């Protein structure tokens, strides 16, 4: 059964100097999305284990660490051990994604597999059951505030169909350019988990924006 739509604000777009206050603004969200970037896999640097620990100390929400880094096989278990509810790594960066997924699950955490825009779902269809979530990037990873790539919607649909055909309960998440004008398209395509950064943190009332996005997606989640 497909769960209700979940909104995960991306704190990449938050005011890092006032982190606790920024986390309070989205306390009614369904989870938090924490980007980790190493300036190698993507041309930007953000976060790290100590930053994640600071986030965890100031929120009761489940935290998903999105690892946009080289060598996730080495580092993903560190984020699981730190207390993240979910750890998402990139298919393009992992040397042994199946083994890594099992290692994260063995630590009692959910595991996500992220796909850049040019990476297809097809090579991973037979191992979808090893993951709790597939993240279809709707921008090139590395920076916030980018425009939604609508041409990713067929990939979202293929991912949802593959999950349904296999009888699995796997979330489909989209990340990048999610806003009031794009979330319905993503939900119609098959997404049920939505990372929203700029749309939430640039809103005057972040909590109201989270709820507005949730309500827009709800009729279309299937």
pLDDT tens digits, one per residue of 13-56 = 899 999 999 999 999 999 999 999 999 999 899 999 999 999 99
User: Length of the chain, please?
Assistant: 222
Q: Which residues are catalytic?
A: 35, 175
Q: Which two tokens stand for residue 151?
A: 């041409």
Q: In the predicted model, what is the mean pLDDT of residues 169-182?
A: 97
> Which band of pLDDT confidence, cut at 50, 70 and 90, is reported for residue 1?
very low
Q: In the predicted model, what is the mean pLDDT of residues 158-167?
A: 98
Backbone angles phi, psi at 32, to 5 degrees: -120, 140
- Predicted confidence at residue 146, as pLDDT, reads 84
Q: In the predicted model, what is the mean pLDDT of residues 51-75?
A: 97
d(CA 97, CA 79): 16
What is the domain partition of the chain in residue ranges?
Answer: 6-220
- Assess if CATH 3.40.50.460 describes domain 6-220: no
> Which band of pLDDT confidence, cut at 50, 70 and 90, is reported for residue 166?
very high
- Predicted confidence at residue 142, as pLDDT, reads 79
pLDDT tens digits, one per residue of 181-199 = 999 999 999 999 999 999 9
pLDDT tens digits, one per residue of 94-153 = 999 999 999 999 999 999 999 999 999 999 999 999 999 999 999 998 777 789 999 999
Do 219 and 45 form a contact (C-beta atoms < 8 A)? no
Tell me which long-range contacts 159-162 makes (C-beta under 8 A, separation of at least 24).
159/121, 159/134, 159/190, 160/189, 160/190, 160/191, 161/190, 162/121, 162/125, 162/128
> Which band of pLDDT confidence, cut at 50, 70 and 90, is reported for residue 156?
very high
Q: Record the pTM.
A: 0.96
């Amino acid at each position: 059964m497909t769960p209700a739509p979940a909104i995960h604000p991306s704190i990449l777009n938050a005011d890092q100097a006032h982190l606790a206050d920024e986390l309070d603004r989205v306390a009614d969200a369904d989870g938090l999305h924490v980007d980790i970037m190493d300036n190698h896999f993507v041309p930007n640097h953000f976060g790290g284990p100590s930053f994640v620990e600071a986030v965890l100390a100031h929120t009761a929400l489940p935290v998903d660490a999105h690892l946009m880094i080289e060598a996730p096989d080495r580092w993903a278990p560190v984020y699981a051990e730190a207390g993240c509810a979910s750890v998402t790594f990139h298919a393009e960066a992992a040397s042994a994604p199946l083994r890594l997924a099992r290692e994260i699950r063995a630590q009692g955490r959910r595991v996500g597999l992220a796909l850049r825009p040019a990476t297809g779902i097809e090579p991973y269809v037979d191992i979808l059951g090893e993951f709790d979530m597939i993240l279809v990037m709707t921008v090139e990873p590395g920076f916030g505030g980018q425009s939604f790539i609508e041409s990713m919607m067929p990939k979202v649909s293929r991912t949802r169909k593959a999950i349904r055909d296999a009888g699995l309960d796997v979330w489909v998440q989209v990340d990048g350019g999610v806003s009031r004008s794009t979330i319905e398209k993503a939900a119609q395509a098959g997404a049920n988990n939505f990372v929203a950064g700029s749309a939430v943190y640039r809103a005057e009332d972040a909590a109201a924006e989270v709820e507005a996005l949730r309500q827009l997606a709800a009729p279309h989640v299937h």
